[in-house]
Every structure is written in structure tokens, then in C-alpha cells.
Amino acid sequence: MLNIVLYEPEIPANTGNIGRTCVATGTRLHLIEPLGFRLDEKSLKRAGMDYWKDLDVTTYIDFNDFMEKNPGAKIYMATTKAPNVYTDVKYEPDCYIMFGKESAGIPEEVLVEHKEDSIRIPMLGDIRSLNLGNSVAIVLYEALRQNGFKGMNLEGHLHRLEWKD
């Protein structure tokens, strides 16, 4: 099972959206405090829709608490400052993919300890970053693809009609 880690997320709608993506993919969500919202906030629940109740989510008081409770975890740091493209690494089935807060990303003090495991999504020019929810979806689905979309529905079905050959 893959793990998404949000380092001090600030916007409840982003976290709600990411929570919904985690439920849809069987991914655990880890939230490192402080959060820019309360977990019972209406906008968080609205973005997560009725899926939030099914989310496997853990909160931590800070980054050190996260590290202490997940010893030996393989962590990829998603950041615009990374030397590696997100498609250039091999995601282990139980790895952690960390994303920073919307306004500042992952602190450089954390990044310097994880250079080889820091990944980026390529972008044009001087664009600061993509939306956090979009970034999580892009990298998470690459990790899922690399792991064969294990346990996921790989075929859809029409409700009223049949596909034509």
C-alpha cells in the first residue's frame, strides 16, 4: 500500500481532494501538523465528499514525530527544487511520497537530507508549482502504474449499452 504524506497542508479543499484520491486508490494519507485547518472543517469534507469516512489517515505533531513513527520508511520528496524527475525513480509498493505545504513546499532543511529521493514534475518556464492535489495525483498514479495498479479496477463498464467492436 502506497502512502501520501502532506507536510503542513494549508488549504482544506486540497487535502479533501487528496483524501478522496487516496480512498479511490487504496492509499494511506499522513498529515504532518500544524494544519492550516481543522479536520472537521466543512470545506475539507465537501472536497472529500462522502469518501472521507473511508480514508486511512494518520496525523503527526511534527516531522520528527512522523519520522519516529515510520522508521526505515522509503520517502520520496516531491518538490520543484528536486534534481530528479518523478518518472525516473522506482516506487516501492509501500513507499511514502511527501508533498510540502502550498505556500512554501518542503523545508530545504528536510530536502538536503533526501537529495537522491527528491523528485519533481517538469514544468515550463518560471511557473512556481502545480496545484497540490494535481501534483499528488500525477505522482501517485505513476507509482501505481509502476506497481501494476494492484487491486484496482482496470476495466470499465457501460450501464445501459455495450461497447461496439
Q: Looking at the predicted structure, is the pLDDT value of residue 43 above 70? A: no
Read off the CATH number of the domain in which 140 is found: 3.40.1280.10
- Domain housing 116: 3-146
Q: What is the pLDDT of residue 165?
A: 80
pTM above 0.75? yes
pLDDT in tens, 70-113: 999 999 999 999 999 999 999 999 999 999 999 999 999 999 99
Feature table: binding site for S-adenosyl-L-methionine = 100, 121, 129
Confidence of residue 125 (pLDDT cuts 50, 70, 90): confident
Residue 153 lies in a domain: no
Residue 157 lies in a domain: no
Residue 120 lies in a domain: yes
Residue 28 lies in a domain: yes
Residue 158 lies in a domain: no
Residue 151 lies in a domain: no
* Structural domain count, the chain: 1
Confidence of residue 47 (pLDDT cuts 50, 70, 90): low
DSSP code string of 96-152: EEEE-BTTTBS-HHHHGGGGGGEEE---STT-----HHHHHHHHHHHHHHHTTTTTS
**Do the beta carbons of residue 82 and residue 119 sit within 8 Å?**
yes
**Do the beta carbons of residue 120 and residue 80 sit within 8 Å?**
yes
Residue 162 lies in a domain: no
Feature table: binding site = 100, 121, 129
Residue 155 lies in a domain: no
